[in-house]
Amino acid sequence: MKKEKVQERIIRVASDLFYRQGFNSTGINQIIAEADIAIGSLYNHFSSKNDLLQAYLIKQEVEWFKGFEEHSSKISAPEEKILSLIDYRKKLQKSSKFAGCHFIKIVAEVGDSSPSVSDFARQHKEKQKEMIRTMVNEYAKNKKDIDTDIFTEQIFLLIEGAVVTSTINKNTDSFDQIQKMIKAQLS
């Protein structure tokens, strides 16, 4: 196992704290203490807590898409790939103990005060939607009477709603429900 670089450790620790306890509730001193670094080390890599927040968002986005790619890499059928996205989001919810979406949480916390954070989260969700659109277009190639824009929007909104409902209810029932709804539309 390779040794973790200081910058990677700072981002990992800050990411965990931002996600668990919130950006505003996480102080620089706590990050320094938990990353076990000197204050100078932090500022050698990040000029501010907001720079660290940007690194956190980038890390989460990269991990999100890489995670889905790994999760669905062996699936070729477009309808199965769409359903695997639901499984992936369900898996993320379980592994986070139903803590919710990193992007929804950060926008809820700092969105109005930070247009760059809001913009990043919006772009992230658009990338997710475009990924769904690609899968839907692939599925619809040989099908008639499918409005791919509406179907893409439905899948996206159902999944986002399932994440929120799952976070509130602390279970995955909402994913099982949307899986049935989307399967019915795919058949």
Amino acid (1-letter code) at residue 39:
I
Q: What is the DSSP letter of 97?
A: T
Q: Say if residues 132 and 85 touch (Cβ distance below 8 Å).
A: yes
Element (H, E) at 176: helix 173-186
What is the C-alpha to C-alpha distance for residues 22 and 105, in angstroms, rounded to an integer?
8
Contact 99, 19 (CB under 8 A): yes
Cα 50–Cα 54–Cα 60 angle in degrees, nearest 5: 140
Tens of pLDDT along the chain (187 residues) come to: 667 899 999 999 999 999 999 999 999 999 999 999 998 999 999 999 999 999 999 999 999 999 999 999 999 999 999 999 999 999 999 999 999 999 999 999 997 788 999 999 999 999 999 999 999 999 999 888 899 999 999 999 999 999 999 999 999 999 999 999 999 999 8
Q: Looking at the whole model, is its pTM more than 0.85?
A: yes
H runs (alpha helix) in 96-141:
102-110, 115-140
- The CATH code that applies to domain 57-186 is 1.10.357.10
Domain ranges of the chain: 1-47, 57-186
Burial (Cβ within 10 Å: 0-12, 13-18, ≥19) of residue 12: middle
Enclosing H/E stretch for 90: helix 78-95
Q: Are 167 and 100 in contact (CB under 8 A)?
A: yes
C-beta atoms surrounding 97 within 10 Å:
8
- Tell whether domain 1-47 is in CATH 1.20.58.760: no
